[in-house]
A and B are shown apart, each in its own frame.
Chain A
Amino acid sequence: EPEVTQTPSHQVTQMGQEVILRCVPISNHLYFYWYRQILGQKVEFLVSFYNNEISEKSEIFDDQFSVERPDGSNFTLKIRSTKLEDSAMYFCASRATSTNGGELFFGEGSRLTVL
């Protein structure tokens, strides 16, 4: 069964450092998303991406965050200068279609720990 893969599974970084989380969405999917879940809290939408541009972003997704699809297969989330409160599980997701019924497939997540 096709799946969304994410690397690294766990990253520990110092506050202020840059972090790049990588995702390989399912190959025929067109819509890409990043969500995050702070420990014990709900899964929160960060950003959606389609046709090589951001289609929507949340308040969380400020100037410190960026996304890129550099080579047609990878979909990356970059945090330029990490803060303690960025510690969370980050989930990449992809979907074949934007319409209802287009199931959102999630990766297993990348746990980010900022010290």
Chain B
Amino acid sequence: DQQVKQNSPSLSVQEGRISILNCDYTNSMFDYFLWYKKYPAEGPTFLISISSIKDKNEDGRFTVFLNKSAKHLSLHIVPSQPGDSAVYFCAASATANTGFQKLVFGTGTRLLVSP
């Protein structure tokens, strides 16, 4: 049961252009969404998050958009840089009742930013 889906396994973008990474979810109980970045041989690193009460959150070059009706979120990176090349994981949690917020991850999208 794949509750969080990243349908694009890879994305190639030129330096300076926009990278758009997409994520879909099925569980309507999810109310908090996060993007993690992962380099080879390292653990996931938190990038940006968004609560379900918002539809946009921005942090520097990174913006996350949430469309609750479509159960879809996206991460925009503008401008993309070669150092952004990594695997990006979308994650979601349902905080009601548990409070411990286990994260459900998508399968990841490998972003390659070429100079």
A18 at interface, CB cutoff 8 A: no
Per-residue interface assignment for chain A, residues 41 to 57, with 1 indicating a CB less than 8 Å from any chain B CB and 0 otherwise: 11111001010000110
Q: Considering the complex, give the chain A residue whose CB is closest to the CB of B42.
A: A108
- From the candidates A43, A98, A108, A109, name the one contacting B101 in the complex (CB within 8 A): A98
Contacting pair B49 A109 (CB below 8 A): no
Q: What distance in Å separates the Cβ of A107 from its nearest Cβ neighbour in chain B?
A: 5
- From the candidates A41, A95, A107, name the one contacting B43 in the complex (CB within 8 A): A107
- From the candidates A91, A104, A108, name the one contacting B46 in the complex (CB within 8 A): A104
B107 at interface, CB cutoff 8 A: yes
The verdict on A42 contacting B41 (CB below 8 Å), with A48-B100, A48-B102, A101-B49 known, is no
Q: What distance in Å separates the Cβ of B102 from its nearest Cβ neighbour in chain A?
A: 4
Per-residue interface assignment for chain A, residues 70 to 110, with 1 indicating a CB less than 8 Å from any chain B CB and 0 otherwise: 00000000000000000000010101001111111111110
Name the interface size band of chain A.
Answer: 20 to 34
Contacting pair B43 A109 (CB below 8 A): yes
Chain B contributes a number of interface residues (CB within 8 A of A) equal to 27
Residues of A within 8 Å of B107, CB to CB, are 41-42
A114 at interface, CB cutoff 8 A: no
Contacting pair A100 B32 (CB below 8 A): yes
Residues of B within 8 Å of A104, CB to CB, are 34, 46, 101, 103
Contacting pair A45 B102 (CB below 8 A): yes
Q: Considering the complex, give the chain B residue whose CB is closest to the CB of A47.
A: B102
A96 to B112, CA, bound (A): 33
Q: Considering the complex, give the chain A residue whose CB is closest to the CB of B41.
A: A108
The verdict on A42 contacting B43 (CB below 8 Å), with A31-B100, A100-B95 known, is no
Q: What distance in Å separates the Cβ of A44 from its nearest Cβ neighbour in chain B?
A: 7
Contacting pair B101 A100 (CB below 8 A): yes
Residues of A within 8 Å of B4, CB to CB, are 42
The verdict on A42 contacting B105 (CB below 8 Å), with A100-B32, A101-B49 known, is yes
Residues of B within 8 Å of A93, CB to CB, are 43
B83 at interface, CB cutoff 8 A: no
Q: What distance in Å separates the Cβ of B65 from its nearest Cβ neighbour in chain A?
A: 18
Chain A residues close to B by CB (< 8 Å): 4, 31, 33, 35, 41-45, 48, 50, 55-56, 58, 91, 93, 95, 98-109
